[in-house]
């Protein structure tokens, strides 16, 4: 309770429950889609007053850099499918997860030779490297590795959404 009172926020904890061998095994399962439950934040200002899990900055970069490029657990094309189309289909998110006419234009352009996570538990507020351009709903938010200032994102709700409090 003292920690909550100290910074007027929730207190996070990191549990070391997963083994690398198990992560590697699960990555190779063809029905496993990829995502993260970590919140996204800028490594500046008030955000630096709080710690976070390294996956907030490097979840996808770790998958593509370590497990795809370095360890060759799955091909790059399969990783892309399991980062995009498979989760969109699993969550029944309409017009998402593919580059098709009439779909939302969410596109990430990265360099497969340099994409890498850099965040650690000791220093979690570090951007990954190798991401070149990102488009959200067709608008550039990252151009040549630099944020454009655009914020075209919107809430994406699947068929299970019923509103706050189950209403």
Using CA of residue 141, residue 65, residue 94, residue 163, what is the dihedral sign?
negative
- What does the DSSP assignment read for 63-80? IIIIIIIIT-SS-HHHHH
Residues 6+ apart with CB under 8 A from 36: 55, 56, 59, 60
Helices (H), the chain: 2-7, 20-27, 55-62, 76-83, 85-90
Could you give phi then psi for residue 135, rounded to 5 degrees?
-120, 130
Round to whole Å and give the CA distance between 89 and 82.
10
Q: Give me the phi and psi of 107, to 5 degrees please.
A: -135, 135
Cα–Cα distance, 40 to 164 (Å, whole number)? 22
What is residue 167's predicted lDDT score, i.e. its pLDDT?
47
Tell me how far CA of residue 148 lies from CA of 26, 76, 104, 137, 152, in angstroms: 36, 27, 19, 14, 11
- pLDDT, tens digit, for every residue of 132-167? 999 999 999 999 999 999 999 988 888 888 876 554
Instruction: Name the token pair of 156.
Output: 């994406």
Question: Per-block average pLDDT, block size 10, for the chain (167 residues)?
Answer: 69 78 96 85 73 85 97 98 96 93 94 96 90 95 95 89 68
């Amino acid at each position: 309770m003292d920690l909550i009172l100290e910074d007027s926020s929730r207190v996070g904890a990191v549990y070391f429950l997963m083994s690398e061998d198990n992560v590697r095994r699960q990555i190779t399962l063809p029905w496993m889609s990829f995502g993260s439950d970590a919140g996204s934040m800028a490594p500046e200002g008030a955000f630096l007053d709080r710690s976070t899990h390294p996956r907030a900055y490097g979840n996808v970069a770790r998958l593509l850099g370590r497990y795809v490029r370095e360890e060759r657990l799955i091909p790059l094309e399969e990783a892309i499918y399991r980062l995009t189309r498979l989760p969109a289909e699993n969550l029944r998110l309409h017009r998402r997860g593919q580059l098709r006419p009439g779909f939302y234009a969410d596109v990430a352009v990265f360099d497969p030779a340099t994409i890498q996570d850099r965040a650690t538990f000791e220093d979690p507020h570090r951007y990954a490297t190798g991401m070149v351009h990102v488009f959200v709903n067709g608008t550039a938010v990252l151009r040549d590795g630099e944020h454009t200032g655009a914020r075209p994102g919107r809430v994406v709700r699947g068929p299970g959404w019923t509103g706050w409090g189950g209403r």
